[in-house]
Amino acid sequence: MSNAIEGVDTQAGQGDRIEHDSMGELRVPAAALWGAQTQRAVENFPVSGMPMPRGFIRALGLVKAACAVANLELGTLDGERAEAIRQAALAVAEGRYDAHFPIDVFQTGSGTSSNMNANEVIAHLASAACGKAVHPNDHVNYGQSSNDVVPTALHVGAALLIEESLLPALQHLEAAILARADELKGHTKTGRTHLMDAMPVRLDQELGGWAAQVRNAQRRIAQAAEGLHALALGGTAVGTGVNAVPGAAEAAIAWLADETGVAFRPNDNRFEALSSQDAAVAASGALKSLATALMKIANDLRWMNSGPLAGLGEISLQSLQPGSSIMPGKVNPVIPEAVCQVAAQMIGNDAAITIGGQAGNFQLNVMLPLITHNLLQSIELAANVSRLLADRAIAGFTVNAPRLSAALDRNPILVTALNARIGYERGAAIAKRAYAEGRPVLDVACEMTDLEREELAALLDPRQLTGS
């Protein structure tokens, strides 16, 4: 097989060849491995310039290879054609021919154009490899429909990215947070509620909350991913399995599970599998929950790093790049800012996926390319930015211990610890005076209560107030 031809000009012009489909003849760039139906889609959908994502093309190649294996096992394709299709499809899955998948994300809602793109490229490669004519529909797409292949590839692509990329990245992030928490047990700081001074907490407790958010996000995502393991393959056009060979979908899905190590299975109800994308919506919802956790952690880091003189200045994030084109010496929290932008994109993607999910008109969802693009993008962005957050923000920040201590010493809210001894109202009076005079609460409490300074110091010890 030839390697992918980089930079293929998708527009017909000089050096074309003539291809045909059921609608007639059409000029296709001579270097292109696709055929007439792909070319029609290229010309019909010059919308965004964004092709379908790599994860989807990989999954599409794996599905086509799986179907070729099943058709060979069942004797519905001859051995030479089936093996040539399998090899070509796996080459597509590996990414060797991505330049030949030019169709825009915003295309026909079933993704038929992308399915035919794969059929045509694989047929072209397989024909050259085995010396026999391999037809895109009659051989590569045998026993299949775009209506079951595309939702199957959507699920496979998303499940693989979650399993291979996102969950390991989140495990890495959780481990990085826990490692820093263990290092920072000795630091106590002012807690904050409503962004206002509150009772003290330890840094390891604060980071432990972050780690729990990431751990819970993993659990939700893994649970949602199980829904993606149920595949539509075998439903063909409307869920009835018309033209499908009995047992072929089951054999193909079993091969996919063995090949990928993911527990893919036939969907119990293929009408649901074709007409809805509830599993994708659920997975996106779990990703949105992760996005909110990532944004919370990133914003906490930004606040803690703020200043360094006029802000909180509790920590210093690693200096990665100059922060201003006009203000020399300024350094910004660039990684947390990138994390927040990714989180915003994920939340926006979820909104579009939610709208896409309700587009299951009767027997087919007709926003499959949009759902595919947004879901895979959210997974990939989350995986990438989680590693950045771990390695370039969490792992490298330093603690400004004197700043933490100075703020704690002057925190009037510590008087809360005296409630049981002096009552809420006297405590409030002490706090207000300490605020007004800018004095440590210990000094004011000594003046306004009958308690000995030694006892007050023990009761107001910030470290003791953080619990176990």
Q: For this structure, is 194 an active site residue? A: yes
Ligand-binding site membership of 20 (annotated): no
Q: Residue 325: how many CB atoms within 10 A of its CB?
A: 7
Ligand-binding site membership of 147 (annotated): yes
Ligand-binding site membership of 275 (annotated): no
Ligand-binding site membership of 110 (annotated): yes
Ligand-binding site membership of 146 (annotated): yes
Which entry of 2, 22, 194, 468 is annotated as an active-site residue?
Answer: 194
Q: Encoding tokens for residue 169?
A: 């990245």
Ligand-binding site membership of 187 (annotated): no
Ligand-binding site membership of 132 (annotated): no
Ligand-binding site membership of 354 (annotated): no
Asked if 295 and 343 count as a contact pair (C-beta separation under 8 A), the reply is yes
Ligand-binding site membership of 193 (annotated): yes
Which entry of 20, 48, 319, 324 is annotated as an active-site residue?
Answer: 324
Q: Encoding tokens for residue 186?
A: 């000795």
Ligand-binding site membership of 55 (annotated): no
Please give the Cα distance from 227 to 361 (Å, whole number): 21
Ligand-binding site membership of 69 (annotated): no
Ligand-binding site membership of 332 (annotated): yes
Ligand-binding site membership of 331 (annotated): yes
Q: For this structure, is 324 an active site residue? A: yes
Ligand-binding site membership of 165 (annotated): no
Ligand-binding site membership of 349 (annotated): no
Q: Which residues are annotated as a binding site for substrate?
A: 110-112, 135-138, 145-147, 193, 325, 330-332
Where in the sequence numbering do the catalytic residues fall?
Answer: 194, 324
Q: Which residues are annotated as a binding site?
A: 110-112, 135-138, 145-147, 193, 325, 330-332
